[in-house]
Amino acid sequence: MTFAAITTASSEMADSRAAAHYIAEGCLVDAPLARVGLEVEAHCHDPADPHRRPGWDEIADVLRQLPALPGGSRVTVEPGGAVELSGPPADGVVAAIDAMRRDQSVLRSAFAGAGLGLVFLGADPLRLPKRINPGARYRAMERFFASSRSGAAGAAMMTSTASIQVNLDAGPRAGWADRVRLAHALGPTMIAMAANSPMLRGGFTGWASTRQWVWGQMDSARCGPILGASGDEPGTDWARYALKAPVMLVHTASELTAVERWVPFADWVDGRVLLGDRRPTVADLEYHLTTLFPPVRPRQWLEIRYLDSVPDAFWPVLVFTLVTLLDDPVAAGVAAEAVEPVATAWDTAARLGLRDRRLYAAANKCVAVAAGLAPPGLADSMQRLVDAVERGRCPGDDFSDRVIQHGIAPTVARLARGGL
């Protein structure tokens, strides 16, 4: 990319038109469909006292002693202490799943050795939101949300939610518009199939995916879908979205500062408002893009961010289903037709899951085509998913049943010990 007005990352940008061009031209990379990367989060709990939130030093001690992960994942800690494995790009979904499974096994063993456990739920069902990660970015984000209309939702998002993120090559340029549209259109159906967060702060919320409900309470300019009216130009849609979105954080000479008023990035870059007594640089724009959290985010590849964290019985086949429906051309055609009636039913999916008859119908069609392409190593898990979808059940229903039978704290403790 070459722009006369943009020379280095430290140069101030000329205006919003240059910024839009920069965003649109760099958001996706023309490439074959091949690589898959996975990011999986889990809440860290103390099985002996599941109400307690393990502290930063406890988690850091485990990670300092962690051996090399065989699949090459990077380990990070979310603001509330959730632990994330971010796998490198793998050649295909099966290889990505296998690598993540190996890394999860090592990570679980390390936490178990320290008397802690990892719980794969879309929302922390028991504890109040609390930040333990002392990082500057998270301190500043906390200040930003506290000063905004999304304060409670922001706190819950940062410290009480966990997800599975699927990263896919953008594919050939000629297919970008259809691919991005399908990635969005699949969202409600996949949310309904993966819903695994019926509780928050110690009580049932009435939502199948409370994680998605929390994100829905956030500012839609930062967390809503990016598609424009037609969805024909993903780059243009992303540029428009990013320029309208309010600036969250600004690097000053001494610190990372929260922006405690509504300033669209377009206003900053066009000089209508100065932040940090200056206009933004390319580096500021790149950082701004990392503070936007739509359900499908273009970062040269596609980040698909709408799946709840789910246990081992489900996450590999949910990931396989999503990737297959996007990457296999025949499956993609079936999926596009199946999900069209529910392509924008985000709130319905989060609230009702597969209890909604249209989402139920779409999910059964989608999982059937994926099951027909599943490799032998996933056959048993895929059949379990097919059976669950046919019965209109999501992973959170199993969790709810256990909570009703045994109580919430005993159920979380059992999950933290690796039980089902």
Q: Which residues contact 62 (CB under 8 A, 6 or more apart)?
A: 110, 111, 113, 114, 116
Residue 395 lies in a domain: yes
Domain range for 128: 27-232+288-417
Residue 407 has pLDDT above 90, yes or no: yes
User: Which pLDDT score, from 0 to 100, does residue 6 have?
Assistant: 35
Cα→Cα distances 122→102, 161, 215, 311, Å = 21, 6, 11, 10
Residue 230 has pLDDT above 80, yes or no: no
- We report the CATH number of the domain holding residue 409 as 3.30.590.20
Three-class SS of residue 265?
A: helix
Q: How far apart are CA 74 and CA 88, in angstroms?
A: 8
Angle in degrees, CA 271, 273, 276, rounded to 5: 100
Residue 41 lies in a domain: yes
Tokens of 357: 């008859």
Residue 228 lies in a domain: yes
CB of 241 closer than 8 Å to CB of 292: yes
**What string of DSSP letters covers 323-387?**
HHHHHSHHHHHHHHHHHGGGTT-HHHHHHHGGGSHHHHHHHHHHHHHHHTT--GGGHHHHHHHHH
Residue 306 lies in a domain: yes
pLDDT in tens, 90-119: 999 999 999 999 999 999 999 999 999 999
Amino acid present at 264: P
User: Which pLDDT score, from 0 to 100, does residue 36 have?
Assistant: 98
Beta-strand pair 35-45/83-86: antiparallel
Number of H helices, E strands in the chain: 19, 12
pLDDT in tens, 160-214: 999 999 999 999 999 999 999 999 999 999 999 999 999 999 999 999 999 999 9
The torsion angles phi and psi of 289, rounded to 5 degrees, stand at -65, -30
Residue 118 lies in a domain: yes
User: Which pLDDT score, from 0 to 100, does residue 11 have?
Assistant: 82
pLDDT in tens, 312-357: 999 999 999 999 999 999 999 999 999 999 999 999 999 999 999 9
* Range 126-150 average pLDDT: 95
**What string of DSSP letters covers 138-206?**
HHHHHHHHHTSTTHHHHHHHHHHB-EEEEEE----GGGHHHHHHHHHHTHHHHHHHH--B-EETTEE-S
Residue 326 lies in a domain: yes
Residues in the chain: 420
Smallest CA-to-CA distance from 387 within 400, 405, 368 is with: 368
User: Which pLDDT score, from 0 to 100, does residue 229 have?
Assistant: 59
Q: How far apart are CA 420 and CA 119, in angstroms?
A: 10
Residue 251 has pLDDT above 80, yes or no: yes
* Range 129-156 average pLDDT: 94
Residue 333 lies in a domain: yes
Q: How confident is the model at residue 5 (pLDDT cuts 50, 70, 90)?
A: very low
Residue 213 lies in a domain: yes
**What string of DSSP letters covers 226-250?**
---SS---HHHHHHHHHHHSBP-EE
Amino acid present at 389: V
Q: What's the number of domains the chain is made of?
A: 1
